[in-house]
Amino acid sequence: MKNIVVLVSGGGTNLQALIDAEKSGTIINGKITCVISSNPSAYALQRAENNGIPTRIIPRKEYPDSKSYSLAVLDALNEENADLVVLAGFMTILDQCVTSQYAYRIINVHPALIPSFCGEGFYGLKVHQAVLDYGVKISGATIHFVNEKADAGAIILQGVVNVEKNDTPEILQRRIMENVEWKLLPEAVSLFCQDRIEIVDGKAYVTE
């Protein structure tokens, strides 16, 4: 059974999708053993507590830079014996000290179709605003491994939705969460826990 540590910063609907998937048995060979928040008032912490999952708070504000923050996160991940780290609405970019030690063991959900609308500065509703400003007709979400560059690691799964004429960032965000994020993130986590993601030449493939 693999230990899954989930990193959060906000509402935690993706964390909830993972909790629900674990409860219904669709995460095979994995268990959420700890939730770590960068934000002491994140509602995601409440979701973890409601489900008896241990929590840790490592406030981003208490660290002067990304390196010192990432070292604190790294210590926590090592203490928790994390086999898989899931960034579920985690709004801080982790330094190379974490991404190299946990290479191909950190999964992120990004709310757009990478390589579009991604990288530094593209997070949360800003992503959906940029999509609407550009006028693209489809968007979606990407589940990918995390490497030293923001949103640039190997893609595991992607799913699409239509962008509609009267969408607001909030409406589009909700459509992408409901139709893609809440389904594909638990699916990718389950595949990882079953050792069904193979890396070939830096690209990720799902095996039978």
HEC assignment per residue over 126-182: HHHHHHHHHCCCEEEEEEEECCCCCCCCCEEEEEEEECCCCCCHHHHHHHHHHHHHH
Residue 140, interface with ligand GAR (CB under 6 A)? Answer: no
DSSP 58: -
E strand residue ranges, the chain: 2-8, 30-37, 55-57, 84-87, 106-110, 138-145, 155-162, 197-200, 203-206
Residue 106, interface with ligand GAR (CB under 6 A)? Answer: no
Measured from the CB atom, is 1 or 149 closer to ligand GAR? 149
Which three-class secondary structure state does DSSP give residue 73?
Answer: helix
Binding residue for ligand GAR, selected from 2, 4, 14, 188, defined by CB under 6 A: 14
* C-alpha–C-alpha distance, residues 198 and 183, integer Å: 20
**Segment near ligand GAR (CB under 6 A); pick from 23-31, 48-56, 70-78, 109-117:** 109-117
Q: Which residues pair with 143 in a beta bridge?
A: 109, 157
Residue 11, interface with ligand GAR (CB under 6 A)? Answer: yes
Measured from the CB atom, is 132 or 194 closer to ligand GAR? 132
| Residue number of the CB atom closest to ligand GAR | 89
Catalytic residue at 110?
Answer: yes
The catalytic position among 2, 47, 110, 128 is 110
Binding-residue pattern over the window 46 to 75 for ligand GAR, x denoting contact by CB under 6 A:
------------------------------
Q: Which of residues 146-185 bind ligand GAR (CB under 6 A)?
A: 173, 177, 181
Q: How far apart are the first and last CA of the chain?
A: 19
Contacts with ligand GAR by CB under 6 A lie at 10-14, 44, 88-89, 109-111, 123-124, 127, 173, 177, 181
Catalytic residues: 110
